[in-house]
Amino acid sequence: TTSFTDPYKENCGTSTKSLYSCANVLVTHKIIEVNRGTPTSMRAPGAAPGLFALESAMDEMAEKIGMDPLAFRKLNVSERDESQNLPWSSNHLQECIDKAAERFGWSKRNPAPGSMKDGTEIIGYGMAACNWDAYRTPAEAQVALRADGTAWAICGVQDIGTGTYTIVAQVVSSITGIPLDKIEVELGNSSFPPAPVSGGSWATASVLPAIAEATRQAVDQLKAFATAPKGVFAGVKADQVSFEQGQLKSGDKTFAIADVLKAQKQSSAFGEAKTGMNDTSKHSFRSFGVHFVEVRWDPGISRLRVSRVVSAIDVGKVINQKTALNQVEGAIVMGVGMALFEATDFDERNGMPVNNNYAEYVVPV
């Protein structure tokens, strides 16, 4: 639904059109105008409601033909993006299903309703797949290696609490060997090199290639300073100079950044880079995953609870394990909220939201 003043829609079919193999698929969206305020996206635009519908249908079809829903999904996983007739850049959904199923203990599942019990509780096992776009958008960044042995990185991207400051510093450190406490990162200033918004799970994939390239350019400039006529490695070719732990090395000689810059009367070595989007003409880029969930129902006291979740997510290269894990765990908690607690109630007389505060709108934490 949407309001009469704004034709807003959630693209629920975007994540569902190519997850499973099917020869003929048509995805359409229809919006209905109602007397309420304009809604907005909730939990990955379109993906959560779209995948809920798709995965519910997969369960219903598996039940109809008497097949294990896990086996039914594995049988139908798409080996390429059939909506675009392109191969996946990578797709480890089958591996995700196998690993999570083993960890969860899916083989112990009895599909007969009410057959699995623990005391007064009836136990249910469920599983569902998920996927999301793996976008990379244009981004620019600048990095400087300074005479005091520190590094400085700037980019216009924002850190909304997801750890962007940390991973930018990690990339600079991994390339230069400069300790994290000697790397200064500045973000979110409109005068800095432009970058995408922090959303859509694309900030890391978009910004870090620019940071990495700018860092390599700064190192290359430092090597150029070192091999210049009056440099510390005068007469040595740049490709014969290595950069390790914040120092330049060639043969048995090692010089700190400060020594290299001082010899050339420079305050810093500088790099600036701009990176673009994925080449979507040859591959389709998406991430994949699967969730296995145990729920328990006590009919005597009408208590329903989620007792266990096992997830395996194919996210690509992980830069920071703690923040990546936090992203997945937070999404699981939001999914529990979407299924069990959260809903907006509207007053039928005037279309105004009734439970518009955290006293009455319940979210799990």
Q: How far is CA 154 from CA 92, 190, 243, 286, in A?
A: 34, 11, 22, 28
C-alpha distances (whole Å) from 360 to each of 39, 156, 302, 354, 364 are: 19, 38, 20, 9, 13
pLDDT of 174: 94
Q: Which two tokens stand for residue 357?
A: 């505060």
Instruction: Report, as ranges of residue numbers, the positions in the chain whose pLDDT lies below 50.
Output: none
**128 beta partners:** 291
How far is CA 216 from its chain centroid? Answer: 25
pLDDT for 236: 92
pLDDT at 243: 87
Cα 136–315–87 angle (5° rounding)?
70
DSSP string for 74-108: HHHB-SEETTTTEEBS---HHHHHHHHHHHHTGGG
State whether residue 269 is helix, strand or coil. strand
* 3-class SS of residue 117: strand
So what's the pLDDT on residue 26?
Answer: 87
β pairing state of 86-87 and 139-146: unpaired
98-157 confidence digits (pLDDT tens): 999 999 999 999 999 999 999 999 999 999 999 998 989 999 999 999 999 899 999 999
Secondary structure of residue 59 in the 3-state scheme: helix
Q: Which pLDDT value is given to residue 223?
A: 94
- Model-level pTM? 0.89
What string of DSSP letters covers 139-180?
EEEEEEEETTS-EEEEES---SSS-HHHHHHHHHHHHH---G
- In the structure encoding, which two tokens stand for residue 276, read together? 């673009």
**Could you tell me which CATH class the domain 139-275 is placed in?**
alpha beta
Domain-wise residue ranges, the chain: 139-275
Contacts of 262 (CB under 8 A, 6+ apart): 147
**Of the candidates 88, 78, 82, which has an alpha carbon nearest to the alpha carbon of residue 133?**
88
- pLDDT value of residue 200: 84
